[in-house]
Amino acid sequence: MSGSATVRVLRDRTAGLFLAAVVVSGFGTSAMWLAAGVWVKSLTGSDSLAALAVFAMWLPVLVGPALGTVADRIPGRRLLVGANLVMAGLLASLTTVDSAGRIWLLFAVLVLYGASFVLMEAAESTLVAGAVDKRLLGDFNGLRMMAGEGMKLLAPLAGAGLYARFGGGAVALLDAASFVLAAGVYALLPAARPHPAGAARTGRRGELTAGVRQVWGSPVLRPLVLAGSVTMLCAGLNGAAIYAVVDDGLGHSPTYAGVLYAVQGAGSVAVGLLAGPLLRRLPERVFTAAGIALFAVAVGVRALPYDAAVLAASAAVGIGLPCVLIAAMTAVQRETPAAVLGRTAATANTLMMVPNAVALALGAGLIALVDIRVLLPLVGAAALLTALLLVKGRRGRLTDSPTGPAPSPAEA
């Protein structure tokens, strides 16, 4: 049963500690993500600067390969504990941001916030890959997705209430406390085994491009990451159109977007439990393509002017979209040598997430020029073509069979 594999992941000390840290820090992060834009808007009155607050947190993804190099050089537990404590101190400093003249400090901390997450995700991938049974990596990544999305359902409401009552500084202190708690959880991790001596230096340029070479040179990783890049580009366009869907399509107030986000998040929580068992039973590319195809159909359905259809489509987006991310990162953890895993994980994350950020900005302009009844079906068609090409091009031992060895009857 799939529950058996989930229990095995939760009983693994390293995996359990990581999931606990995701829950603790994810609550504060989700609250801060919402509060940052509102905080900037209230101090400056500028919609553009408020939008840049979220972009500032995305910005470090552009230099993911370089940050991944740092993660490969510093022991993972030390990096995770140190990064969380540093971020706690930086967030506490935001209690001094009480006027537009100090808004630069908030933006500086938000950029460092994004950089810390790139570093920590790279370090986490390295530690998890070395500690968790390879057959259970899909289960771990699914549970990690479920934990993160679950916090996104709960924390924004808490953050909004805290901001309304006490202001942005209180939300920053809440987030700082969550980082301190996460640092304590990470400190309980067992010490990682040292990398093999083969982790030779190849010069600064060679080290920075090692992740790119690993992704591009792998017949397993390359198609999954490329499919993820295109899918996340489509996801950005879809996300940019949400307020047009709510207003022009359904005739609701902008606050109805919160309902759609909540339904989408619930779908992502559900798929987190199913991802591991499905990855063990389906060829990797088939699992990924099925998720992309479901996402593609849902994006097209969002153009329909019916509440029930759009709500169902939001749930389907939440189910389908995480599949490509879970599959790609599981493959990275399984296929990459430990010495370059941090760089490879950060590179894969950059290649998949940068298109999403670009598409969010591009989509903001497109929805002013193209009707969503035309735009969304076209975006869905592009995603569906990506799914078809992924399945059509599958070949090789690891992509034509389920991920990892067949489970024993007790694990099945």
Per-residue pLDDT at 200 exceeds 80? no
Q: What is the rounded distance in angstroms from the CA atom of residue 147 to the CA atom of residue 273?
A: 10
Could you give the number of structural domains in the chain? 2
Q: Which tokens sit at 271?
A: 């798929």
The percent of residues above 90 in pLDDT, for the chain, comes to: 35
Q: Which of 156, 190, 224 is the last residue of a domain?
A: 190
Whole-number pLDDT of residue 154: 77
Q: 167 and 255 share a domain?
A: no
Q: Which tokens sit at 289?
A: 């393509």
* Closest alpha carbon to 403 in 286, 232, 294: 286
Q: 183 and 230 share a domain?
A: no
Confidence of residue 112 (pLDDT cuts 50, 70, 90): very high
The reply to whether 410 falls in a domain is no
Q: 157 and 248 share a domain?
A: no
Per-residue pLDDT at 301 exceeds 50? yes
Cα torsion for 74, 136, 348, 148, to the nearest 10°? -90
Q: 3 and 135 share a domain?
A: yes
Per-residue pLDDT at 408 exceeds 60? no
The reply to whether 408 falls in a domain is no
CATH of the domain at 106: 1.20.1250.20
Whole-number pLDDT of residue 47: 66
Q: 262 and 359 share a domain?
A: yes
* Closest alpha carbon to 135 in 4, 272, 280, 275: 280
pLDDT tens digit sequence for 228-238: 999 999 998 99
Q: 273 and 177 share a domain?
A: no
The reply to whether 201 falls in a domain is no
pLDDT tens digit sequence for 66-95: 888 888 888 888 999 999 999 999 999 999
The reply to whether 262 falls in a domain is yes
- Rg over CA atoms, the chain: 21
pLDDT tens digit sequence for 321-361: 999 999 999 999 888 888 888 889 889 999 998 898 888 77
Task: Read off the pLDDT of each residue in 127-143 and give the average, rounded to a whole number.
Answer: 84
Q: Which tokens sit at 332?
A: 């990275």
Residues in CB range of 395: below 8 A, 6 or more apart: 219
pLDDT tens digit sequence for 384-402: 999 999 988 754 334 444 5
Q: 154 and 281 share a domain?
A: no
In one letter, which amino acid is 143? L
In one letter, which amino acid is 244? A
pLDDT tens digit sequence for 1-36: 456 777 788 777 888 888 899 888 888 888 887 788
Q: What is the rounded distance in angstroms from the CA atom of residue 270 to the CA atom of residue 294?
A: 14
Whole-number pLDDT of residue 348: 92
Confidence of residue 255 (pLDDT cuts 50, 70, 90): low
The reply to whether 412 falls in a domain is no
The reply to whether 27 falls in a domain is yes
Q: 221 and 132 share a domain?
A: no
Which parts of 218-340 fold into alpha helices (H)?
A: 221-240, 242-244, 257-281, 284-301, 307-335
Q: Please tell me whether residue 12 adopts helix, strand or coil conformation.
A: coil
Whole-number pLDDT of residue 62: 86
Q: Which of 142, 165, 190 is the last residue of a domain?
A: 190
Distances (CA, A) of 187 to 29, 79, 82, 401: 20, 10, 10, 38
Average predicted confidence (pLDDT) for the chain: 84
Cα torsion for 241, 246, 249, 253, to the nearest 10°? -140
Which pTM does this prediction carry? 0.81
* Closest alpha carbon to 1 in 412, 407, 276, 280: 412
Whole-number pLDDT of residue 206: 62
Distances (CA, A) of 148 to 154, 156, 165, 360: 10, 12, 25, 21
Q: What is the rounded distance in angstroms from the CA atom of residue 21 to the CA atom of residue 188?
A: 11
Concatenate the DSSP letters of all residues of 133-152 into one string. Answer: -GGGHHHHHHHHHHHHHHHH
Q: Please tell me whether residue 97 adopts helix, strand or coil conformation.
A: coil
Q: 3 and 150 share a domain?
A: yes
Which of the residue ranges 193-207, 260-274, 300-314, 350-364 would you say has the lowest mean pLDDT?
A: 193-207
Per-residue pLDDT at 257 exceeds 60? yes
Confidence of residue 125 (pLDDT cuts 50, 70, 90): confident
Q: 143 and 224 share a domain?
A: no
Range of the domain at 241: 206-403
Per-residue pLDDT at 366 exceeds 60? yes
Side-chain-side CA neighbours of 304 within 13 Å: the count stands at: 14
The reply to whether 128 falls in a domain is yes
Q: Which of 124, 158, 190 is the last residue of a domain?
A: 190
Q: 177 and 235 share a domain?
A: no
Task: Read off the pLDDT of each residue in 239-254 and give the average, rounded to a whole number.
Answer: 83
Q: 222 and 344 share a domain?
A: yes
Cβ-contact 91, 175 below 8 angstroms: yes
Distances (CA, A) of 183 to 18, 122, 130: 11, 16, 20
The reply to whether 288 falls in a domain is yes
Whole-number pLDDT of residue 324: 93
